[in-house]
Protein backbone atom coordinates (compact mmCIF):
# COMPACT_ATOMS: atom_id res chain seq x y z
CA UNK A 1 0.00 0.00 0.00
CA UNK A 2 1.35 3.42 -1.00
CA UNK A 3 2.06 6.01 1.63
CA UNK A 4 0.27 9.36 1.20
CA UNK A 5 2.51 12.37 0.88
CA UNK A 6 1.72 15.89 1.92
CA UNK A 7 1.76 18.32 -0.98
CA UNK A 8 3.75 21.50 -0.63
CA UNK A 9 1.82 24.75 -0.97
CA UNK A 10 1.82 26.06 -4.56
CA UNK A 11 0.76 29.59 -3.75
CA UNK A 12 3.25 32.40 -3.81
CA UNK A 13 3.21 35.44 -1.60
CA UNK A 14 1.66 38.42 -3.39
CA UNK A 15 3.35 40.90 -1.08
CA UNK A 16 4.05 44.10 -2.99
CA UNK A 17 1.45 43.44 -5.69
CA UNK A 18 -1.34 44.50 -3.36
CA UNK A 19 -2.79 47.93 -3.98
CA UNK A 20 -2.44 50.15 -0.96
CA UNK A 21 -5.19 52.71 -0.59
CA UNK A 22 -3.87 55.89 0.94
CA UNK A 23 -5.92 57.53 3.70
CA UNK A 24 -7.98 60.32 2.18
CA UNK A 25 -8.07 58.60 -1.22
CA UNK A 26 -11.43 58.55 -3.00
CA UNK A 27 -11.33 54.73 -2.59
CA UNK A 28 -10.64 54.66 1.15
CA UNK A 29 -14.30 54.51 2.22
CA UNK A 30 -15.47 52.29 -0.65
CA UNK A 31 -14.66 48.65 0.04
CA UNK A 32 -16.13 46.94 -3.01
CA UNK A 33 -15.97 47.55 -6.75
CA UNK A 34 -19.76 47.98 -6.73
CA UNK A 35 -19.44 50.76 -4.15
CA UNK A 36 -16.87 52.43 -6.47
CA UNK A 37 -19.38 52.37 -9.37
CA UNK A 38 -18.44 49.11 -11.07
CA UNK A 39 -21.74 47.28 -10.53
CA UNK A 40 -24.29 45.78 -12.92
CA UNK A 41 -24.92 49.03 -14.81
CA UNK A 42 -21.16 49.41 -15.46
CA UNK A 43 -20.78 45.77 -16.54
CA UNK A 44 -23.54 46.21 -19.13
CA UNK A 45 -22.08 49.53 -20.37
CA UNK A 46 -18.58 47.98 -20.52
CA UNK A 47 -19.87 44.99 -22.47
CA UNK A 48 -21.59 47.26 -25.01
CA UNK A 49 -18.58 49.56 -25.33
CA UNK A 50 -16.21 46.64 -25.99
CA UNK A 51 -18.60 45.30 -28.65
CA UNK A 52 -18.53 48.71 -30.36
CA UNK A 53 -14.76 49.28 -29.77
CA UNK A 54 -13.21 45.77 -29.73
CA UNK A 55 -9.54 46.68 -30.29
CA UNK A 56 -6.89 48.04 -27.91
CA UNK A 57 -6.24 51.67 -28.85
CA UNK A 58 -2.61 51.49 -27.68
CA UNK A 59 -1.91 48.40 -29.83
CA UNK A 60 -3.61 50.08 -32.81
CA UNK A 61 -1.38 53.13 -32.29
CA UNK A 62 1.64 50.77 -32.55
CA UNK A 63 0.28 49.09 -35.70
CA UNK A 64 -0.91 45.90 -33.98
CA UNK A 65 -4.38 44.37 -33.82
CA UNK A 66 -5.22 43.13 -30.33
CA UNK A 67 -8.59 42.44 -28.74
CA UNK A 68 -9.39 44.77 -25.85
CA UNK A 69 -10.73 43.40 -22.59
CA UNK A 70 -10.81 46.53 -20.44
CA UNK A 71 -12.68 49.82 -20.70
CA UNK A 72 -10.31 52.36 -19.24
CA UNK A 73 -11.00 55.92 -18.13
CA UNK A 74 -8.58 58.16 -20.09
CA UNK A 75 -8.68 60.71 -17.28
CA UNK A 76 -8.88 58.94 -13.90
CA UNK A 77 -12.31 59.70 -12.46
CA UNK A 78 -11.26 59.47 -8.79
CA UNK A 79 -14.88 58.95 -7.74
CA UNK A 80 -16.35 61.71 -9.93
CA UNK A 81 -19.40 59.88 -11.31
CA UNK A 82 -19.95 62.46 -14.07
CA UNK A 83 -16.46 61.74 -15.40
CA UNK A 84 -16.94 58.02 -14.70
CA UNK A 85 -19.99 57.80 -17.01
CA UNK A 86 -18.67 60.17 -19.70
CA UNK A 87 -18.11 57.81 -22.65
CA UNK A 88 -15.81 60.32 -24.34
CA UNK A 89 -13.47 59.56 -21.41
CA UNK A 90 -13.47 55.80 -22.15
CA UNK A 91 -11.00 53.82 -24.22
CA UNK A 92 -10.60 50.12 -24.96
CA UNK A 93 -7.34 48.56 -23.80
CA UNK A 94 -5.83 45.09 -23.69
CA UNK A 95 -4.90 43.83 -20.21
CA UNK A 96 -1.17 44.25 -20.91
CA UNK A 97 -1.45 47.94 -21.80
CA UNK A 98 -3.87 48.64 -18.95
CA UNK A 99 -1.59 46.99 -16.40
CA UNK A 100 1.68 48.45 -17.65
CA UNK A 101 1.68 51.42 -20.01
CA UNK A 102 -1.43 53.12 -18.60
CA UNK A 103 -0.35 52.61 -14.97
CA UNK A 104 3.08 54.04 -15.75
CA UNK A 105 1.49 57.08 -17.46
CA UNK A 106 -0.78 57.73 -14.49
CA UNK A 107 2.12 57.36 -12.03
CA UNK A 108 4.19 59.88 -14.04
CA UNK A 109 1.26 62.30 -14.24
CA UNK A 110 0.76 62.03 -10.48
CA UNK A 111 4.39 62.82 -9.75
CA UNK A 112 4.35 66.09 -11.73
Does residue 8 fall inside a structural domain? no
CB atoms within 10 A of CB 98: 19
Distance CA(10)–CA(25), nearest Å, equals 34
Does residue 32 fall inside a structural domain? no
For residue 87, the Cα-to-chain-centroid distance in whole angstroms is 16
pTM of structure: 0.67
Does residue 62 fall inside a structural domain? yes
Range of the domain at 94: 37-110
Query: What is residue 58's predicted lDDT score, i.e. its pLDDT?
Result: 96
Does residue 101 fall inside a structural domain? yes
- Strands 70-73 and 90-93, sheet pairing: antiparallel
Query: What is residue 26's predicted lDDT score, i.e. its pLDDT?
Result: 47
Distance CA(48)–CA(19), nearest Å, equals 28
Does residue 10 fall inside a structural domain? no
Average pLDDT for residues 66-70, to the nearest whole number?
97
Does residue 1 fall inside a structural domain? no
Query: What is residue 47's predicted lDDT score, i.e. its pLDDT?
Result: 97
- How many domains is the chain built from? 1
Q: Is the pLDDT of residue 42 over 80?
A: yes
Query: What is residue 39's predicted lDDT score, i.e. its pLDDT?
Result: 86
Give the residue from 86, 100, 74, 101 showing the smallest Cα distance to 45.
86
Does residue 83 fall inside a structural domain? yes
Average pLDDT for residues 93-104, to the nearest whole number?
92
Amino acid sequence: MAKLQTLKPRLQSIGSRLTIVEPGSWRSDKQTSTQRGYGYKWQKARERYLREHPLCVYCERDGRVTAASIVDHRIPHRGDMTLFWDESNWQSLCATHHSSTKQREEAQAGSK
